[in-house]
Each structure stands twice: as C-alpha cells, then as structure tokens.
Structure 1
Amino acid sequence: MDLPRLSFGNVIDGKLQPSAITVTATDPRTQEPLWPIPAASERDLNLAVTAAGTAFQKWSKVSIQERQKAVHGLVKVLEDNREMVGHIVSRETGKSHFMGDLEVEHSLGFLRFNASQDLPDEVVFEDDTVQISTTYVPLGVVGAICPWNFPLILATAKIAAALVTGNCIIVKPSPFTPYSIMKFAELATDILPPGVFQVLNGSNEIGASMTCHPNIQKISFTGSTKTGKIIMKSCAGTLKRITLELGGNDASIVLPDVDVDSVATEVAAGCFFNSGQMCVATKRVYVHERIYDPFLRKFLEAVRALPFTQDPGVPTVLGPVQNKLQYGIVQNIIQDCKQNNYKFALGGSDIQSGQFIAPCVVDNPPDDSLVVQEEQFGPIIPLLKWSSEDELLRRANNTKSGLGACVWAKDLREAKRIGSQIHAGSVWLNSFEKPHPYGYLAGHKESGVGGEWGKQGLLSYCDAQTFHAYKGSKIIKSRH
C-alpha cells in the first residue's frame, strides 16, 4: 500500500525542527519502511528543556479554567484529524484500521477526562486557633517516555494530566512508533503556547539524557520493569519525581459457578486484545478443575473466531507483533514450550509471514514453565487448572509483578473477596482488563512506582503545599 504524503518533525518551542540525522521506522505488517523522520540530538533536548522552562513561568500561572479550555482544544483538533491520526497509528503499530480508530477514540477519552478535572484547595484540619489546608502546585518540566504498544493513548494520558495541572511536557515516543504522537504535537502548536508541549523522536540515549537532566523535574515512564529500574536509578541523581508503570503477569481467575460459554469468550478477548501486547492483558488463566474441560473447548472456539489476517481493513483485535525484538521474545517462549513437550491446544506450529504469530493456547503447563513465569506480551496464553482456594491464591500471587488481575464469578461479592487477596493494583470483576480514565492505575511489587489516571493520578504531577493559618495570633516578643 502506498504511503500518504505526510511529513513529520520534532516539535521544539512551537516549531517543527529538522535534524542532521534522519531515521525511518517500519510497518510491522509489511516490513516496509514508513516515513522518514528527524532524530533529535542532545542539542535538541537542551533547546526543548530551555523552552519548556521558559514557558512554565507563564503556563503555571494560567488559571485552571484556561488550561482546561486548552485541553478541550486538543480534543477538537484530534477529533478533526482522527482519520489521519488513526491511519498513522495503524501503520506504525501494525494494528487493523479498527484498532487504530479505537486508539484515537480512547485517547480522546483521556483528554476529555483530564479537561474536566481540577485540584481545589483542601482544608484538612481547623479549630479555633488554626486552619491547615493543602494546595497543589505544578512540578515544572515533565519528561514522558512512552512505549510502542499504545503510542497515542499512553502519551495523551500523560500529556493531558501534565498540562491541566500546570506543567510543561516533553514527550519521547518509542523509536518503533514515533509518528502519531509527533503529528499530534504538530497539530497542538495551534492550540498551546510554544514550549508547553514538545516532542522529540530519538534513541534510547535521548531518553537516558532526559532522566538525568537537571532541569527536568519529573519522569513518567511506561514500559518494561528492566528499563524502569534503570530509569529509577538514573533519576535518583537529581531526586526527580517518578512515575513508573511497568510490566505485569496478570492472572484471570475463573470460579466454578460461572456461565462457561459467556465467560470463556470474554476471557479470550482479554488474552488476545492487541495480540496480547498490553501491559494489563491477561497473561495466565486459572480455571477451576470442575469446569476446565468445557471452558477450554469454548475458549478455543472463541479464539478461532477472531479474524487473523494481514489485511488491515478487516476489523480485528489481532495483528502482528509490533517489532522484531518482541517477536523474538514470543518465539522463544513458543520454542521453550515445544522443547518441554507442553501441550498446545491451539497454535504453536503454524508458520506465519513477517511478524505475525497465530494465537497460541498452552494446555495446563507447569507453574515453573517460562510461559507462566514470564510476561509474554504476545499472542500466547497458558490455561491452568486449580482446585482449592489456598492453592489458587498461592499460585496466582507467586510472581514479582502485580499490575492487574481479573476474577469471574456469578456472585459479585465472592469475586471481590477473592480479588481482594490478589496482590495487584487493579482488579477487574466479571470483566477482562479495560483501563478507564477514571481508574487510578498503579502497580504493586515490581510493576511500578506511583501511578497515573483518575483524580489520584493528577497528584503525581503536583507537589503538595501545606498552609498553617493561625487566627488572630500575637507575635510574642522575647524579653532581654
């Protein structure tokens, strides 16, 4: 398919900036190069930080109502250009056109949510002598380092929260998927003052420089736990505020009283949405032994019904693995299952072209297997039997990560009782993982530090300031 005639540039101080170095990302469906784009240099980063620092002096003093209005302006400009941006998302990620448009729609949801939010002063204590109140002030310049699986959604969520709280933000997208957020930043130059929202396409070295830059006050990162640990260490040198949303190995727990046909279909959707390339996608499914066999049959039926095609015009949640590095990780897990003679209930032997991997379902592998222990981040899922609650909880919690989980039961109270014992930051009851702008997202254990989204997530873009106001106090003079 021919590329539409589009151009892209780093956005620095309200202008498109060229670069001496040009790079090109690849379409995961076709392996063909996409649009040429400039690669930011250290000089570009310093220019962007200086512009953001200057803009912050005025932007932080703009009223919350004006900042909300500006974010509403971003909603309109994205709505007006949603077809173009959705097409860009589809090309850079390999998603179907349906999924590209869905990403734009969910990005609009995060923009609208944050445009409706404020953080009013809060009186936390008062008596006859003193009133203690808390206000929230912006941090300054925020660096956002974003992943490749949902490049537009995860960036716009950070952008909207940073802007409405009075910060300026510099976004570094993944080098695999830089295009949609670069185009959005370009469109935003008609809405926001120069320096308030900037974007730098660059290598991992640019991201590393952001984490230790003395004039960036916060880093918000979404990505792997391994990289998150490196970022945390780097940010310590300047005591930056950090938000790290990292990897997960989410368990989906199915109790024996469920309606097997409907729940198996829903669980399958949660496992293979975006071909499993989602931080909070289900990575392990625990099914009670009493219903395991009928559940497995219905689960396989549901997975087989998902369209699996190289045609992006077919509305489907399946697509290629986005990049060759992740493709290799998924293939390694598949090969490990084969070498250990684990039973594939589906897939595992199909030869696909390019970076496409047909959905794989592994039937009851051991708990210490690679497919159970590691975050697959691809279209392969283990189904596991359980019998007793104590055994279930021990196995489900036997992981270093704790991002999300799901519990399925006819009795919602029973689902919540089980869910409350899962060591994870977000638990969905009778639903697969559906992140929502109002729902605070924060990982437990090695799945992150801090959190984002929801009212609580806005606080991560602020410093708290406490006022102790004494009523009618008299200055006591010292006697000499």
Structure 2
Amino acid sequence: MSAAPTSGSPGTWRARSVRAAPPPRRRCAVADTDRLNHSDRHNHSARHNHIGGKEVPAASGATLPLIDPATALPHGTAPLSGPEDVDAACRAAEEAFPGWSSTTPAQRQVALLGIADALEREADALGAAEVTDTGKPRALFLADELPAIVDVLRYFGGAARNLPGAAAAEYTPGRTSVLRREPVGVCAQITPWNYPLMMAVWKVAPALAAGNTVVLKPSDTTPSSATLLARLAAEHLPPGVLNVVCGDRDTGRALVAHPHVRLVAVTGSVRAGQEIAGAAAADLKRLHLELGGNAPVLVHADADLDDAVDQLSSLAFYNAGQDCTAPTRILVARSVHDSFLARFADRAAQLLPGAPDDPHADFGPLANAAQLASVSGLLERLPDHAEIVTGGGPLDRRGYFHRATVVAGVRQEDEIVRSELFGPVVTVQPFADESEAFRLANGVPQGLAASVWTRDHDRVMRASRVLRTGVVWVNTHGTTVSEMPHGGVRHSGYGSDLSLTGLLDYTQVKHVML
C-alpha cells in the first residue's frame, strides 16, 4: 500500500487504492528492488533528522556519538538538534496539519497499513538498527517485538474508522446537539531507549490515526530505528506529518516548550515526567505520561510454583530487565518462600547475557553506561540485612553486561525495593497473609502493573480491586495486546497507550448545536 500527494492544492492528499491481496503477517521474501538499496541500508554511520519529508543534519552541524552497548564502542552519530531544528520540525507539522486532519479515516488507515507492510518488508534493516543501538538479541527482536509493532500499526489503522460517538439528540426544544471528535494538532512525542521502535510506534500510530501530526524525539542513545521508521513512513505520508528530531534533554525541552505543540506524550522516568508536566503547564498543553514502573508479583501458597518460576524467570530478565512492567518485586507467601526462592535463583543463575548474535544469549547488555552504573550502584548500596542469592554485578568483559541477580532479605523501606530497577535484578520478599501482600504491593510510589499467582478465584477478584495499578495479570505477566489499554496510576503517570482508549487520548471533543 502506498500514498501520495495529489496534484492539486498544497496540503491535499489522497490514498492510493488498497492491493487486493495484502502480504501475510510474517516476514516474507520480496525482490531486492523492493528493499532498501544495500548501500543505503541503515547501518551507515550517520543518522539524520526527518523534517518536512527531508533527511537533514542539525542546522549547527553538531552530532552525538552512538555507542554499541555490546562493545562499548562508537558505531555512528546522530544529530544534536537545537531550537532551530525543533522549530523547523514543529512548523512543518503545523503546516501539514490542515491537510492531514481533513483526510478520511479510510485514507489514514491505508497509510498506516502501508507503513506496517514496509516495516515487515524491512525487518532485517530494522533489526540491525535496533540491536546496534540497544544490544538486545537480534532473534528475540525479530520474533517477539517486530510482529507486535506491526500489529499496533494495523490495529490503529482499523481503529481510525471506528471512533465511538454519541448520537445526535435534542436536549432542549428546537435545538439538536452533535458531538464532533477532532484531532488535537501537533503532538510532541518523546520515547525511551529500552524499546525504541516499539515505543515510537505506540505513540505515532494512534496520533496519526486520529488525524494529528507528530514531532518525535527518540532517546539520544537509541535513535536509529526511529529515523528508519520515518524514512519508511515517508513513502506513505505527506511531508511534515511525521517528523523526527534527534538530540539530548535540551532538544526535548525545546520541543515541549514550542508554541505549535498542543499535546506532549512521553514514555520515560518519573523525574522526566515531572519536569515535562511543569514545562507544559506554562502553555496549558495536554499531557500523556507513561512513566516508571515497579511491578509487584504476588505468589500465593496455592499457586503452581513450577509455572510461576518458569514464566517469571524468563520475563524478569527479558531485555535485561529494562522494562517498566518487568516483575521486579516478587512477594511470596511465607510458607512457600524458601522453596520458590531456591528454584527461582537456580533458574536465574542459568541465564546468560550475550551479544546480539550470540545463539546462547538469554538477554543482552544494559543499554548504556549510565544504566549499568545505576544498577551496580543499587547493589553496592544494599543494606546488611539484604542478601544477593545469585548474580551480583557486571561481567568482566567489554560492553555493559550484567549478571542475572536475585536479592532476598530486603525490607519495604530499602532503596532497592522502592526504586525502579530497570536492570536484570529481582527482589524476593515473604508475606504473612493476603493483607500484608496488598500492603507491600501498594507500598511504593509507582502503579503501572502487577500480577497475582493463585488458584483462588475470590482472591483474584479481591486483588484486581485492591491493587493500585493500571493492569493486573493473573497467573501470567507482561503480555500486552493492541486492543487493551496500557497505562498507570500515581507516579506511573496517566493516559493510555494502545486500544481505543489510547486513540481517544489523541482527540478532543467539540459540541455543535444546530
């Protein structure tokens, strides 16, 4: 599927017709002429901004080095964008907004489906871009993450055509009220380094589906897949609809403050969310914040311990634990605590970190030197009553590799319990009864996700009511689907990614009375 500007007035746009037989939802062979030219693949050393449909360097010529986490060596550069670059991107998005917002949902669907097909077609190039920036295992990215990313684009392509709305009605004599749901305008989107492409698509897809235009700022350490996304999307979107500016925190600050921006969406730390919320308040910009997590896992005595150990040992260390929903705080009924801890620690000790193409690697390195130092610091500052059962520190090799680590004997007031770990580290705590389990689970500032492991249906219903999180999984953990919302409460932020709820977050309501 593809899209092109019409030959009419500037800003008008139409979608070309949909192919009769779309490709299957898997990686498929295509002719070399349909792929990115080999010499132009995204493993070149310099990334570029994408502004108004063009690939451009920063106006100042400044760049940031990109470091391969698996080797700790530079592999390329990205623009260090300043206020001039941010202004150009926001102006391009503002100019593109009237044309894009006036397209039909069907036209936006065709564009999103075309982008999804392009990502599927360019799986290898996207994999190369993602794993060089993040160090994550290539096979896991291609098998687990990319299909889910493509599905999000396809879901929002359909959701664009199914916005809910109230029926027209007369609420006062002689007047008919109608509700219009309209796009917000230019959306600034700031994405993190743990899932660079996935988080970019989670933000971009609903914003575009609702008729908004976007200026996306990826993390300064992992911009490669976002810039490739923009290049592929340019084949299906009018210029200026999707812009990407690379840079550091000052770039993000300039973007949040720009007067053309009407909504700011960020996935990041609590600190970043607090700063952005304060800055956005000056211009009354709408906010969509998906912030830190510190997910509690409640393992009750009647749970299937073998299944819990199997699932949680895999999920806790996936992506080196750099996941806001990772099961980092495992709370276990005291009667089965020692048995669970021994099994879980034994399984964690068998997990191996490794480079992206290491067939034996269970997870990759931490994404950058700062995160390795953060995780190491938490372990170095452990109180005397805490015990490292297995793991405990970085590997003695080049790169930002850290052992899978399990810590027991912790207390609720400990830093390692109250902090978002964002690394391959898990704490295990006992609880005496259900009431204490709920108190420990809710006893941290974050509230993104939780899971409950039990065979007791009544306990599940109580937990789903009492746990103060945006999602509660039962006898599973970490699964997301495009149709269901993903978001948190308290210090984990507000607003939802995914689902119709996520789409509605990128719209505003207008009352029209006739």
Band the TM-score falls in, shorter-chain normalisation = over 0.9
Which of residues 427, 437, 440 in structure 2 aligns to 1:392?
Answer: 437
Q: Which amino acid aligns with 2:240?
A: G
Which of residues 140, 147, 172 in structure 2 aligns to 1:99?
Answer: 140
1:81 alignment counterpart = 122
1:374 alignment counterpart = 419
Task: Single out whichever of 82-91 and 316-325 deviates more from structure 2.
Answer: 316-325
C-alpha distance in structure 1 between counterparts of 2:502 and 2:62, whole Å: 37
Q: Do the aligned residues in 2 keep the contact of 1:99 with 1:317 (CA within 8 Å)?
A: no
Q: Do the aligned residues in 2 keep the contact of 1:386 with 1:392 (CA within 8 Å)?
A: yes
Matched, 1:17 2:61: no
Q: Do the aligned residues in 1 keep the contact of 2:387 with 2:407 (CA within 8 Å)?
A: yes
Matched, 1:117 2:159: yes
C-alpha distance in structure 1 between counterparts of 2:300 and 2:238, whole Å: 53
Q: Do the aligned residues in 2 keep the contact of 1:371 with 1:381 (CA within 8 Å)?
A: no
- Deviations along 1:85-126, one digit per CA (max 9) or x if unpaired, are 012111100101123323322211211111110314322865
> SS of 2:338's equivalent?
helix
1:72 alignment counterpart = 113
Matches within 5 A, 1:7-406: 7-19=46-58, 20-101=61-142, 102-118=144-160, 119-123=163-167, 129=173, 131-310=176-355, 312-314=357-359, 316-337=361-382, 340-348=384-392, 351-353=395-397, 354-406=399-451
Q: Over aligned residues, Cα RMSD in angstroms?
A: 1.9
Flag the 1:312–1:21 CA change in 2: closer, same or farther, 3 A: same
Q: Do the aligned residues in 2 keep the contact of 1:97 with 1:314 (CA within 8 Å)?
A: no
Q: Do the aligned residues in 1 keep the contact of 2:353 with 2:401 (CA within 8 Å)?
A: no
**Corresponding pairs, count:** 466
C-alpha distance in structure 2 between counterparts of 1:78 and 1:369, whole Å: 43
How far the C-alpha of 1:25 sits from its partner, in A, is 0.8
How far the C-alpha of 1:310 sits from its partner, in A, is 3.4
> SS of 2:505's equivalent?
helix
Flag the 1:468–1:414 CA change in 2: closer, same or farther, 3 A: farther
Q: Do the aligned residues in 2 keep the contact of 1:352 with 1:358 (CA within 8 Å)?
A: no
How far the C-alpha of 1:410 sits from its partner, in A, is 1.6
Q: Do the aligned residues in 2 keep the contact of 1:162 with 1:461 (CA within 8 Å)?
A: yes
Flag the 1:316–1:412 CA change in 2: closer, same or farther, 3 A: farther
Q: Which amino acid aligns with 1:107?
A: I
> SS of 2:466's equivalent?
coil
How far the C-alpha of 1:23 sits from its partner, in A, is 2.4
Q: Do the aligned residues in 2 keep the contact of 1:275 with 1:320 (CA within 8 Å)?
A: yes
The two structures have a TM-score, normalised by structure 1, of: 0.93
How far the C-alpha of 1:267 sits from its partner, in A, is 1.7
> SS of 1:420's equivalent?
helix
C-alpha distance in structure 2 between counterparts of 1:59 and 1:293, whole Å: 59
Q: Do the aligned residues in 1 keep the contact of 2:354 with 2:360 (CA within 8 Å)?
A: no
Q: Do the aligned residues in 1 keep the contact of 2:53 with 2:238 (CA within 8 Å)?
A: yes
How far the C-alpha of 1:208 sits from its partner, in A, is 0.2
C-alpha distance in structure 2 between counterparts of 1:270 and 1:131, whole Å: 53
Q: Do the aligned residues in 1 keep the contact of 2:352 with 2:403 (CA within 8 Å)?
A: no
How far the C-alpha of 1:127 sits from its partner, in A, is 6.6
How far the C-alpha of 1:467 sits from its partner, in A, is 3.2
Q: Which amino acid aligns with 1:109?
A: D
C-alpha distance in structure 1 between counterparts of 2:426 and 2:139, whole Å: 23
> SS of 1:54's equivalent?
helix
How far the C-alpha of 1:371 sits from its partner, in A, is 1.4
C-alpha distance in structure 2 between counterparts of 1:174 and 1:205, whole Å: 12
Q: Do the aligned residues in 1 keep the contact of 2:385 with 2:410 (CA within 8 Å)?
A: no
Q: Do the aligned residues in 2 keep the contact of 1:93 with 1:148 (CA within 8 Å)?
A: yes
> SS of 1:290's equivalent?
helix
Q: Do the aligned residues in 2 keep the contact of 1:288 with 1:387 (CA within 8 Å)?
A: yes
Q: Do the aligned residues in 2 keep the contact of 1:412 with 1:429 (CA within 8 Å)?
A: no
- Deviations along 1:404-452, one digit per CA (max 9) or x if unpaired, are 1111112344223213211111111111122222221221111102222
Flag the 1:136–1:340 CA change in 2: closer, same or farther, 3 A: same
Q: Which amino acid aligns with 1:18?
A: P
Flag the 1:350–1:128 CA change in 2: closer, same or farther, 3 A: closer
Q: Which amino acid aligns with 1:111?
A: L
- Deviations along 1:230-286, one digit per CA (max 9) or x if unpaired, are 000000111101101001111010111111111111122232121110011112000
- Deviations along 1:110-146, one digit per CA (max 9) or x if unpaired, are 1111111031432286579455443210011001011
Q: Do the aligned residues in 2 keep the contact of 1:95 with 1:317 (CA within 8 Å)?
A: no
C-alpha distance in structure 2 between counterparts of 1:72 and 1:450, whole Å: 25
- Deviations along 1:308-336, one digit per CA (max 9) or x if unpaired, are 33363326442111111111110111111
Q: Do the aligned residues in 1 keep the contact of 2:292 with 2:420 (CA within 8 Å)?
A: yes
How far the C-alpha of 1:64 sits from its partner, in A, is 0.6
Flag the 1:297–1:124 CA change in 2: closer, same or farther, 3 A: farther
> SS of 1:327's equivalent?
helix
2:509 alignment counterpart = 464
Q: Which amino acid aligns with 2:57?
A: P
Q: Which amino acid aligns with 1:256?
A: A
Q: Which amino acid aligns with 2:501?
A: Q
> Which consecutive unaligned segments of at least 5 residues does structure 1 have?
470-480
C-alpha distance in structure 2 between counterparts of 1:122 and 1:372, whole Å: 45
1:478 alignment counterpart = none
Give structure 1 regions of 4+ aligned residues with deviation exceeding 6 angstroms: none
C-alpha distance in structure 2 between counterparts of 1:375 and 1:110, whole Å: 26
C-alpha distance in structure 1 between counterparts of 2:362 and 2:265, whole Å: 27
Q: Do the aligned residues in 2 keep the contact of 1:21 with 1:39 (CA within 8 Å)?
A: yes
> SS of 2:159's equivalent?
coil
> Which consecutive unaligned segments of at least 5 residues does structure 2 have?
1-41
1:472 alignment counterpart = none
Q: Do the aligned residues in 1 keep the contact of 2:112 with 2:153 (CA within 8 Å)?
A: yes
Q: Do the aligned residues in 2 keep the contact of 1:257 with 1:409 (CA within 8 Å)?
A: yes
Q: Which amino acid aligns with 1:43?
A: E
Flag the 1:315–1:68 CA change in 2: closer, same or farther, 3 A: farther
> SS of 1:163's equivalent?
helix
> SS of 2:335's equivalent?
coil
Q: Do the aligned residues in 2 keep the contact of 1:99 with 1:315 (CA within 8 Å)?
A: no
2:32 alignment counterpart = none
C-alpha distance in structure 2 between counterparts of 1:427 and 1:466, whole Å: 36
2:8 alignment counterpart = none
Task: Single out whichever of 63-72 and 120-129 deviates more from structure 2.
Answer: 120-129
Flag the 1:45–1:263 CA change in 2: closer, same or farther, 3 A: same
